[in-house]
Structure formats: structure tokens, C-alpha cells
């Protein structure tokens, strides 16, 4: 557990190589593993860590050297989920009425809104949260991340006339229960059913991953959430795509550590990053 107030920024910004900069931008909102001191969750750390998209920022670490900035959360998603609307919360979790707008989505109904209520059968809190502590999570963690992402999107769009964004995640291998044995995916690409980026962008990412030998599906069971929705406005030449990678490819989920497949996957994603930067360069020129 760490004190979030002791950090200058609640995220890491891996700046792009300036000489190679392209209007490609990535963010990893769920790979953070800092648990702030004021979290006061009753769930054990080993349970909380299951919510992390562990090591995803490291898997894609080649992006900055290819000219694409990479924003990575430092704080755990179970503290405040950056891939949710600010209004996606359950007033029943609070000790007093929320002073702003409340629009709980189905994520909140499932206990995984802006504030997670449970992880599997484990409840995160044995108390009600104060409005002040939730406001502090928004002010210190949520908004700085979104402000930075928004600034980068606008900056690239102004400079290059368009922006291509990857929202990076990982999915538990248990997702296989949703597929037949022959179709268990290595990657799920989410473009909000064809609405958050150009058809060409998603087809290019799909092609590059398939060419590297991976099984890729689109939009099922993950079609993209708040960040992709917010960034992706293809009619304005703002393209946003969610990429989920199967954790079984690179980590031992039970013991929460990388396994021997990590480096091979990281190397493949370095190759994909290079080709994608080249694709985006051609789109923007």
C-alpha cells in the first residue's frame, strides 16, 4: 500500500521518440498496481490484484521507441476505474448523497463501475464511502489521467490532422468459457461494433496480429468501454480501438507473475508496433 499523495502524477507517461513521432497514442488504464493508503478495502491484496491488467504497459513497451506515446496508470483499477464514466457510480455505496450527476450503467449493476463493489464473491468494502474520499479519487487519480490523455489526443490531432489511439487491456483466460475450443481468442479487438475507428484501422491491427500467428476476434465479449467511446470519433479522424490480450499467453494468473511466454509476446508486439506506426504515418501524410 502506498500513499497516492506522495506521487507527483498518478500515471507514467512514456513519451514518444521525438524524431519518429507519429499520431499514434496508447493508454493502459488498468495495469496500475499502486494501492493508496486511504483505500481501506477489506479484500485481500491477492484478490484485488486479479482485477489488474498486469504487465500490459510492459508488453507494449516498444511503442514509444516507434514514435507513439504510452500512458500507463499507476493506481489500481479497484481504487477507481479509469475506463468508466465519472457518473457511473452506485449511490448505495456512499454515506451521503452524491452532489453531482449519477448515471449507473450495467457495469455498476455488475459491481464494476467507477468504484468496484466486489471482485467475484469478495466485497471490497465493509463500510460506506464518504463523498469526500470519492471526490479525492477523482481529483487525484481519475481526472489527471483523463486530462493528460485528452491533451495528447488534441495535440496530435492539431499537429497531424488525425489521431490513432490504442486502449490496451488484458483479459482473464477464463474468457474461454464463452467460446468453443477451436475459437478461444488470443486477442479481442473492440471498436464499439464499428463505431469508434475506421474499418481500415481495425482491419490493419487484426491483420498484423494474425500474421504474427494469433487468434483474433472482434467485439465479443469486449467491445470497448468509456475511453474508446470518448476518444473515438472517426468522423473527425479520431480513431480509437480497444485491444484485449489473453493473460494465459504471458502470465501465471494464479501466482500473479510473468511466465516464459512473456518475452515472445512482447517481441511480437514490438513488431506489430513498428508496422502500426508505419501504417499511421502513411494515413497521416
Residue numbers of the site for Zn ion (CB under 5 A)?
30, 53, 169
Q: Which residue has the cell 492539431?
A: 158
Least separation in angstroms between residue 157's CB and Zn ion is 25
The sign of the torsion formed by the CA atoms of 165, 103, 11, 46 equals: negative
Residue nearest to Zn ion (CB): 169
Q: Which is nearer to Zn ion, 50 or 155 (CB)?
A: 50
Least separation in angstroms between residue 225's CB and Zn ion is 8
The CA–CA distances, whole Å, from 157 to 20, 81, 175, 187 equal 16, 26, 35, 27
Q: Which is nearer to Zn ion, 165 or 169 (CB)?
A: 169
C-alpha cell at 169: 487491456
Q: How many CB atoms lie within 10 A of CB 266?
A: 17
Least separation in angstroms between residue 27's CB and Zn ion is 11
**CA distance linking residue 130 with residue 237, whole number of Å:** 41
**CA distance linking residue 105 with residue 188, whole number of Å:** 22
Q: Which is nearer to Zn ion, 225 or 277 (CB)?
A: 225
Q: Which is nearer to Zn ion, 23 or 229 (CB)?
A: 229
Q: Which is nearer to Zn ion, 22 or 216 (CB)?
A: 216
**CA distance linking residue 41 with residue 80, whole number of Å:** 12
Tell me how many degrees the CA angle 197-167-183 measures, rounded to the nearest 5: 85
Least separation in angstroms between residue 242's CB and Zn ion is 9
Q: Which is nearer to Zn ion, 30 or 238 (CB)?
A: 30
Q: Which is nearer to Zn ion, 31 or 204 (CB)?
A: 31
**CA distance linking residue 51 with residue 46, whole number of Å:** 10
Amino acid at each position: 500500500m502506498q500513499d497516492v499523495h506522495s506521487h507527483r502524477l498518478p500515471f507514467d507517461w512514456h513519451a514518444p521518440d521525438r524524431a519518429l513521432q507519429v499520431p499514434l497514442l496508447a493508454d493502459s488504464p488498468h495495469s496500475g498496481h499502486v494501492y493508496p493508503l486511504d483505500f481501506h478495502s477489506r479484500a485481500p491484496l491477492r484478490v484485488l490484484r486479479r482485477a489488474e491488467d498486469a504487465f500490459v504497459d510492459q508488453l507494449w513497451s516498444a511503442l514509444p521507441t516507434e514514435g507513439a506515446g504510452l500512458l500507463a496508470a499507476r493506481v489500481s483499477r479497484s481504487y477507481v476505474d479509469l475506463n468508466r464514466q465519472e457518473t457511473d457510480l452506485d449511490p448505495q455505496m456512499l454515506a451521503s448523497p452524491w452532489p453531482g450527476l449519477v448515471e449507473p450503467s450495467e457495469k455498476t449493476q455488475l459491481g464494476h463501475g467507477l468504484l468496484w463493489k466486489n471482485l467475484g464473491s469478495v466485497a471490497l468494502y465493509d463500510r460506506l464511502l464518504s463523498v469526500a474520499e470519492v471526490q479525492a479519487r477523482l481529483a487525484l487519480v481519475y481526472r489527471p489521467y483523463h486530462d493528460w490523455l485528452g491533451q495528447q489526443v488534441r495535440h496530435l490531432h492539431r499537429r497531424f490532422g488525425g489521431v490513432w489511439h490504442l486502449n490496451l487491456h488484458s483479459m482473464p483466460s477464463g474468457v474461454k468459457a464463452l467460446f468453443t475450443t477451436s475459437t478461444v481468442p488470443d486477442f479481442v479487438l473492440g471498436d464499439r461494433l464499428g463505431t469508434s475507428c475506421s474499418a481500415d484501422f481495425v482491419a490493419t491491427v487484426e491483420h498484423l496480429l494474425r500474421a504474427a500467428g494469433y487468434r483474433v476476434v472482434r467485439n465479443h465479449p469486449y467491445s470497448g468501454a468509456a475511453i474508446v467511446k470518448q476518444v473515438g470519433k472517426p468522423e473527425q479522424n479520431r480513431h480509437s480501438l480497444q485491444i484485449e490480450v489473453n493473460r494465459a499467453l504471458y502470465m501465471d494468473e494464479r501466482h500473479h507473475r510473468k511466465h516464459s511466454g512473456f518475452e515472445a509476446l512482447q517481441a511480437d508486439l514490438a513488431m506489430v508496433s513498428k508496422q502500426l506506426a508505419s501504417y499511421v504515418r502513411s494515413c497521416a501524410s
